């Protein structure tokens, strides 16, 4: 972070809220001309401060608004089993996020489904086919209170 100045931080905050601004709009927001802002954004991208730009889709518009956090415990802790689990999970579309965690569980999955019946089918037929899973624990989202991808700095 030592290589970032106040303008870089402002640009990152703005882009973290919405990446749809043009370079000209960004330049106006940080009181610079377009050319130095473009150079700064390109540098922030090339140095990895900006990983990528995406559109956040609304799962409810796709009838996928039933959100579940699923904790996974592996059958045993072994390098091959862990790699196989990750490879299997990467193939499952309903899993939109996957984290390797410490504590009582080994992984945390964020799953989008249509409804409880769809999630039940997902558990039985998709997670059930992942041989490395020892046990699961599901937590169902009643309401989304905060969802931001911006970083505090």
Query: How many residues are present in the chain?
Result: 153
Q: Each residue of 29-79: pLDDT tens digit?
A: 999 999 999 999 999 999 999 999 999 999 999 999 999 999 999 999 888
Yes or no: is domain 6-46 CATH 1.10.600.10? Answer: no
Q: Is 131 helix (H, G, I), strand (E, B) or coil?
A: coil
Give pTM, 2 decimals.
Answer: 0.86
- Beta partners for residue 71, in sequence order: 108, 137
CA dist 123 and 67 (Å) reads 13
Yes or no: is domain 59-140 CATH 3.90.1150.10? Answer: no
Q: Each residue of 104-141: pLDDT tens digit?
A: 999 999 999 999 999 999 999 999 999 999 999 999 99
- Beta partners for residue 140, in sequence order: 68
Q: Each residue of 5-21: pLDDT tens digit?
A: 999 999 999 999 999 99
Question: Within the chain, which residue ranges are assigned CATH 3.30.70.920?
Answer: 59-140
Question: Within the chain, which residue ranges are assigned CATH 1.10.10.10?
Answer: 6-46
CA angle 124, 140, 71 (to 5 degrees): 60
């Amino acid at each position: 972070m030592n290589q970032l100045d106040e303008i870089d931080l402002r640009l990152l905050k703005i882009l973290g809220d919405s990446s749809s601004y043009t370079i000209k709009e960004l330049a106006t927001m940080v009181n610079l001309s377009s050319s130095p802002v473009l150079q700064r954004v390109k540098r922030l991208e090339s140095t990895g401060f900006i990983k990528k730009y995406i559109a956040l889709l609304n799962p409810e518009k796709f009838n996928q608004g039933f959100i579940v956090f699923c904790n996974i415990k592996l059958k045993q802790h072994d390098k091959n089993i862990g790699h196989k689990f990750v490879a299997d999970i990467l193939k499952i579309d309903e899993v939109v996020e996957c984290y390797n965690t410490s504590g009582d569980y080994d992984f945390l999955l964020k799953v989008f489904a249509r409804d409880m019946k769809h999630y039940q089918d997902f558990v039985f037929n998709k997670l059930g086919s992942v041989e490395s899973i020892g046990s699961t624990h599901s937590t169902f989202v009643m309401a989304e209170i905060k969802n931001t991808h911006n970083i505090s700095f």
